[in-house]
A and B are shown apart, each in its own frame.
Chain A
């Protein structure tokens, strides 16, 4: 029995039949493996997945600091997604407001469910306008709203015509799709329809980029932006960490989209290509080598001598600044093994960062990834839509003549595709070694079992399993919140990560798990009736 079979051994009948396709053991590097993903979780299995609302409001819209995000539903969903995701923001400019410290909800009550909640939603917006006067409102539905049929799209139209402000409604009821992933897609659609391109700016700057799928957890986005600006790029907007609706309006003016989190934002990248002709490139600013690769890819894309030179200078400066610490942590961490189970893109990104310090990933997985996140976008044509994915609107925007602008010629584009990750993503499997196991939509039992089988030195996951893992004697760190540390992006971020990892593994308290009296008796023996021996 190999490791994969040992995990599956516990399951009977239908659960086995379902789960066997979600657990993959890589045997020969390079052999394509097919994994089942983005399909329904099995009821009763303690999964880590959240819901559509969590992906839409929590992940994509939540970080946009200058918009009021109004949750239409009972109080819980708004409350849980208030200030809990570390998407830092510091709105700039006169009168810029930061609504991240606020939670707005219609707090629906029983009569609203019975008689409809639209009236209350409108009244809530009247009150928002009276008290806060925002320039942008996003309305997000929770489960009951879709069931009782409140027309939030109509309310959004009413807001726009009555108040002359931006407003978008997101029907992201929790039951839609199979995980957070559906919510990402719905949020992408809404931003594309209502926000992107609604500004009046024209494409003018030469090296103008959008950073997509960077949520500024622990300040990652700020660290990435710092380097990009130092090299000479103009960052038009970030989706959506420290995000600004005012900046996103003009996202269409960029020349290139940089995609950090493929899972949550690839829809916008594709739609902006169709509508505005903007190319996208898969980057990864987690990991030292990966950051270097990403920066060089950008320089190759723009093919500007000055830019290339500054890229190399910045890389050299950053490397020099971290060299001693890099060597130190590498010497301390080389040889350790890790498990990485988080999100829909991070498990891949962090394997690169771990390798920078000599740590091998032996088990990995995602909560809500699709097949392309594991196997690469090459498999996209093979993915058959199912009942759950068909329910999520698929937009096909057409070219916007006024704003369409190609940066590269067709020939140059084709040429570059062989050189850099231009509009492609090769997935996580490619990075993983023989004998490693990948689990899609991992659950509590599988987590326990994998730790028992692989005994990794450290396990990166989230808050729901962190304390269970630590209780099993294995150091665990949260890769959603970085355990309130960070940034982990780029060069200095890599050192922060290594420092935190080393701290977790080497905590003196691990030595005290077993009390001394359980290994050596405190009771002195008496032999042959000798008293007080």
Chain B
């Protein structure tokens, strides 16, 4: 496995090997699926749309709908305006969504298609909406694309309002439907009136009822996105992902925001609840206090199994930072934390976490790839890896247990239903981490050392 990977690390200036990120449009497509009755539309070659739908379906094990402008060589020379016009007509005729969310690709960006003027010149049926976002694949990553699509919706739809509602907007970031459900459950427990944007719960975890619904019940409605301009405040969960769209909303509608870390682990969940508590002037409920106490209890019960163990965490910036904070709370040492997305903020926040918990010899790397991670591990190994499916090659090559978390997880089921956020999510993470390490101990134990009780 990965036999061609040498131990010696050479600086690379141009070559990316085994990336830990993908391109902007898939993030845009995912964000658009979190809008009710929305058809995501890829303005580029057919292949982009096909790859993105395939990829999302492999992670969620769910249909991921989207249409494409089906560029040919001619469109690439003369511009994709007429393709988009035809597409919009056909989409409304045949699939009848409430809204079409167009995102660009490296192709349409390179030829300089002007989506603003295209959309202005298209006849849009009454009551229907077309919005767009620029998501060039040669800039940013899927995380940036996710934020850009959110900004696109906001720019087109959010309405400025002098009168503020009592609602709080929650930007959950690029997380699973299971996380979004959990964030909403916590907010409901705090008696918060909220708009979650986007919200893929009820879309990418829709039940099987024996008949297919192209637009399931979930998703933020167009009316809710319009209403974002009137909310009391935005909680942008995950600084790297959600700060840019929160700033767009602030600039357009004057809505202030609080950027918080993704609520993974104890302190970040505490922060989320405290912020909600302050905003709506409600005390944190006894049942949430109980959940928190249970989490602290199990960490203390099981700590001998993971304390001081070293771990490599990789994936998307906000999720990796959340996981890093939690493993530090558990007493582990996050020796390498790595994201493929370019983000100095990621490294800065990561180093701040290392300092806060007084761990040394840890590295926080952004704009890096899994080839680098593997070489680092070859030079100085870890006890555990936490991250996406693509790390399984390294885990096998170096015989390291792997806990799957983040996007994408392509080789396991149910994960997208189960949260990482909140105290419950943390408890699930702890169980996965602890089981991975204990299974490894069982596997490696000699007969005379094989324990019944652990």
**A: which residues have CB within 8 A of B?**
10-12, 15, 40-54, 73-84, 97-99, 101-110, 112-113, 120-121, 123-124, 126-128, 130-132, 142-144, 146-148, 174-179, 387-388, 391, 444-445, 448, 462-473, 513-514
Contact = CB atoms under 8 A, between A and B. Distances in A.
Question: Among A15, A98, A143, which residue has the most Cβ atoms of chain B within 10 A?
Answer: A143
Contacts of B69: 43-44
Nearest to A127: B15
10 tightest A-B contacts by CB?
Answer: A51-B47, A76-B23, A44-B87, A44-B90, A174-B45, A123-B14, A107-B16, A43-B87, A74-B137, A513-B210
Contacts of A43: 67-70, 83-84, 86-87, 90
Interface stretch (B51-59, B193-201, B286-294, B297-305): B51-59
Contacts of B58: 84, 463
Given A51-B46, A120-B14, A127-B14, 8 more contacts: A43-B83, A46-B95, A113-B110, A143-B76, A143-B106, A144-B107, A465-B63, A466-B57
Interface string B184-212: 00000000000000000000001011111
Contacts of A463: 54, 57-58
A462 B54 CA distance: 9
Interface stretch (B1-9, B168-176, B435-443): B1-9
Contact of A123 (B13, B50, B410): B13
5 contacts: A15-B94, A74-B136, A103-B18, A144-B110, A473-B208
A131 B6 contact: yes
Contacts of B390: 82-83
A77 B10 contact: no
B393 interface: yes
B15 A44 contact: no
A42 B51 contact: no
B126 interface: no
A469 B25 CA distance: 25
B44 interface: yes
Contact of B138 (A51, A112, A131, A462): A112
B74 interface: yes
Interface in B54-97: 54-55, 57-58, 61-76, 83-84, 86-91, 93-95
Contacts of A51: 45-48, 50
Contacts of B106: 73-74, 76, 108, 113, 142-144
A134 to B, nearest CB: 8
A179 B46 CA distance: 8
A147 B78 CA distance: 12
Contact of A102 (B12, B17, B105, B111): B17
A143 B107 contact: yes
Contacts of A48: 50
A47 B22 contact: no
B14 A103 contact: no
A154 B42 CA distance: 32
A408 to B, nearest CB: 41
B19 interface: yes
A54 B57 contact: no
Nearest to A43: B87
B91 A106 contact: no
Contacts of A175: 45, 71-73, 75-76, 107
Contact of A42 (B18, B26, B90): B90
Interface in B215-266: none
B179 to A, nearest CB: 20
Contacts of A514: 209-210
B372 to A, nearest CB: 12
Question: Among B58, B61, B67, B73, which residue has the most Cβ atoms of chain A within 10 A?
Answer: B73
Nearest to A148: B110
A112 B25 CA distance: 19
Nearest to A106: B14
A464 B139 contact: no
A448 B111 contact: no
Contacts of A464: 50, 53-54, 57, 63-64
B42 to A, nearest CB: 10
A450 to B, nearest CB: 13
Given A41-B46, A102-B17, A143-B45, A467 B63 contact: yes
Given A110-B139, A388-B73, A467-B62, A53 B23 contact: no
B190 to A, nearest CB: 32
B84 A143 contact: no
A509 B304 CA distance: 41
A109 B10 contact: no
Contacts, number: 250
A277 to B, nearest CB: 35
A46 to B, nearest CB: 5
A174 B47 contact: yes
B37 interface: no
B404 interface: no
A195 to B, nearest CB: 21
Nearest to A98: B3
A304 B206 CA distance: 60
A10 B55 CA distance: 30
Given A49-B50, A50-B50, A388-B72, A174 B107 contact: yes
Contact of B212 (A54, A75, A78, A471): A471
Contact of B137 (A75, A84, A444): A75
Contact of B208 (A101, A391, A471): A471
A440 to B, nearest CB: 15
Contacts of A130: 10
A79 B21 CA distance: 8
Contact of A78 (B19, B41, B73, B87): B19
Given A44-B86, A44-B89, A148-B110, A113 B138 contact: yes
B65 to A, nearest CB: 7
B19 A77 contact: no
A128 B371 CA distance: 13
A272 to B, nearest CB: 28
Contacts of A110: 136, 138-139
Contacts of B72: 40, 175, 177-178, 388
A49 B137 CA distance: 20
A126 B45 CA distance: 30
A45 B86 CA distance: 10
A471 B340 CA distance: 35
B428 to A, nearest CB: 24
A38 B300 CA distance: 64
A10 B22 CA distance: 37
Contacts of A97: 3-4
Given A123-B13, A471-B63, A80 B46 contact: no
Given A45-B67, A175-B75, A448-B212, A128 B15 contact: yes
Contacts of B6: 131
A102 B4 CA distance: 9
Question: Among A44, A78, A121, which residue has the most Cβ atoms of chain B within 10 A?
Answer: A44
A127 B10 contact: yes
A49 B138 contact: no
Contact of B68 (A11, A15, A47): A47
Nearest to B26: A76
A267 to B, nearest CB: 19
A75 B137 CA distance: 7
A43 B44 CA distance: 10
A11 to B, nearest CB: 8
B25 to A, nearest CB: 7
A330 to B, nearest CB: 29
Contacts of B210: 471-473, 513-514
A74 B23 contact: yes
A451 to B, nearest CB: 9
Contacts of B138: 74, 108-110, 112-113, 144
Given A113-B110, A471-B206, A473-B210, A80 B93 contact: no
A128 B71 CA distance: 32
Given A43-B87, A46-B66, A76-B23, A143 B44 contact: yes
Contacts of A49: 46, 50
